[in-house]
Amino acid sequence: MEDAIQMVDLKGQYLKIKDEVDAAIQHCIDTTAFINGPQVGEFKMSLAQYLNVKHLIPCANGTDALQIALMALELTPGDEVIVPSFTYVATTEVIALLGLVPVMVDVDPNTFNITADLIKTAITAKTKVVVPVHLFGQSANMEEIMALADEHNLCVIEDNAQAIGAEYTFADGRKVKAGTIGHIGTTSFFPSKNLGCYGDGGAICTNDDELGAKIQMMANHGQVKKYVHKYIGVNSRLDTLQAGILSVKLKYLDQYSTARGSAASYYDKGLADLDGIQTPVRNPQSTHVFHQYTLLVKDGKRDELKKFLESKGIPAMIYYPVPLNEQEAFKGISRVIGDLIVSTALCQSVLSLPIHTEMKESVQDYIINAIKEFYGS
Ligand X SMILES: *Cc1c(COP(=O)(O)O)cnc(C)c1O
- Contact residues for ligand X, defined by CB under 6 A: 61-63, 87-88, 90-91, 133, 159, 161-162, 188, 190, 200, 202
Considering the complex, what minimum distance in angstroms separates the CB of residue 312 from ligand X? 28
Based on DSSP, count helices (H) and strands (E) in the chain, helices before strands.
13, 15
CA distances from 294 to 115, 202, 203, 288, 302 (A): 19, 24, 26, 12, 12
68 or 367, CB closer to ligand X? 68
Q: What are phi and psi of 354, to 5 degrees?
A: -55, 130
The total of other beta-carbon atoms located within 10 Å of residue 260's CB is 23
Nearest in space to 257 (alpha carbons), one of 357, 130, 107: 357
Bond from prior residue into 320 cis (ω within 30 degrees of 0): yes
Going through 106-201 in order, the beta strands assigned E by DSSP cover 127-130, 155-159, 167-169, 175-177, 184-188
Does the annotation count 249 as an active-site position?
A: no
| Residue 235 DSSP one-character state | B
Amino acid symbol at 290: F
Amino acid at 282: R
Let me know if 84 is exposed, middle or buried by CB neighbors in 10 A (0-12, 13-18, 19+). Answer: buried
Question: Nearest distance from residue 238's CB to ligand X, in Å?
Answer: 11
Looking at the Cβ atoms of 113 and 364, the one nearer to ligand X is 113
Min dist CB 187 to ligand X, Å, is 8
| Active-site residue (options: 128, 193, 214, 306) | 193
C-alpha 216, offset from chain centre: 21
Q: Give the shortest CB-369-to-ligand X separation in angstroms.
A: 30
> Helix 240-250 and helix 253-271: axis angle, to 10°?
60
Using the 8-state DSSP alphabet, how is residue 158 labeled?
Answer: E
Residue 233 beta carbon to ligand X: minimum distance, rounded to whole angstroms: 18
**Of the two residues 156 and 363, which places its CB atom closer to ligand X in the complex?**
156
**What does DSSP assign to residue 325?**
G
**Min CB(353)–ligand X separation in Å:** 17
**Which residue of the chain is nearest ligand X when measured via CB?**
62
* Cβ pair 84, 145 in contact under 8 A: no
Cα separation, 353 vs 284, whole angstroms: 22
| Cα–Cα distance for residue pair 148/144, rounded to 1 Å | 6
Distance CA 149, CA 22 (A): 45
Smallest separation, CB 64 to ligand X (Å): 7
Active site residues: 193
